[in-house]
Amino acid sequence: MMRKPFLTALVFAAASLLATTSCSSEAAQSAPEVHPTAAITLYLDWHPCAQFAGFLTAFQNGYYRAEGLDITITPADEAMDPFALIAHTTNTIGISEADSLLSERAKGVDIRAFATMMQTTPFSLFTLKESGLTTFKSLKGKRIGLYGDGRRAIDELINFNHMANNDVTLADIPFSLDPLITGQVDAMQGYTIDEGVRLKMQHHPVNTISMADNGYVSYAEVLFASSALVHQHPETLVRFLRATRKGWEYAAAHQAETATMIVAKYLPTSSFEEQSQSLALTIPLLNAETHDHRFGQMQPATWQKSFAMFQKYQAKDAKIAPADLVDYSILEKIDGKKP
- Which of 9-18, 45-54, 146-155 shows the lowest per-residue confidence on average (mean pLDDT)? 9-18
- Which of 32-46, 99-113, 288-302 shows the lowest per-residue confidence on average (mean pLDDT)? 32-46
CA 220 to chain CA centroid, Å, is: 5
Residues 252-263: pLDDT tens digits? 999 999 999 999
pLDDT of residue 8 exceeding 70: no
Q: How far apart are CA 252 and CA 279, in angstroms?
A: 8
pLDDT of residue 5 exceeding 70: no
* Encoded amino acid at 122, one letter: P
What's the CA dihedral at 31, 34, 39, 42 to 10 degrees? -10
Closest CA to 95 of 114, 67, 121: 114
* Encoded amino acid at 127, one letter: T
Residues 222-270: pLDDT tens digits? 999 999 999 999 999 999 999 999 999 999 999 999 999 999 999 999 9
pLDDT at 333: 97
Residues 150-192: pLDDT tens digits? 787 898 899 999 999 999 999 999 999 999 999 999 999 999 9
pLDDT at 25: 43
Determine how β-strand 206-210 pairs with β-strand 123-128. antiparallel
- Which of 20-29, 46-55, 243-252, 298-307 shows the lowest per-residue confidence on average (mean pLDDT)? 20-29
pLDDT at 314: 67
CB 75 within 8 A of CB 18: yes
More confident residue, 214 or 19: 214
pLDDT of residue 140 exceeding 70: yes
pLDDT at 148: 76
Residue range 41-53: mean pLDDT, rounded: 97
Residues 112-123: pLDDT tens digits? 999 999 999 999
Instruction: Walk me through the domains of the chain, giving residue ranges and CATH numbers.
Output: 8-120+218-335 (3.40.190.10), 123-214 (3.40.190.10)
pLDDT band at 34 (very low <50, low <70, confident <90, very high): low
pLDDT at 17: 45
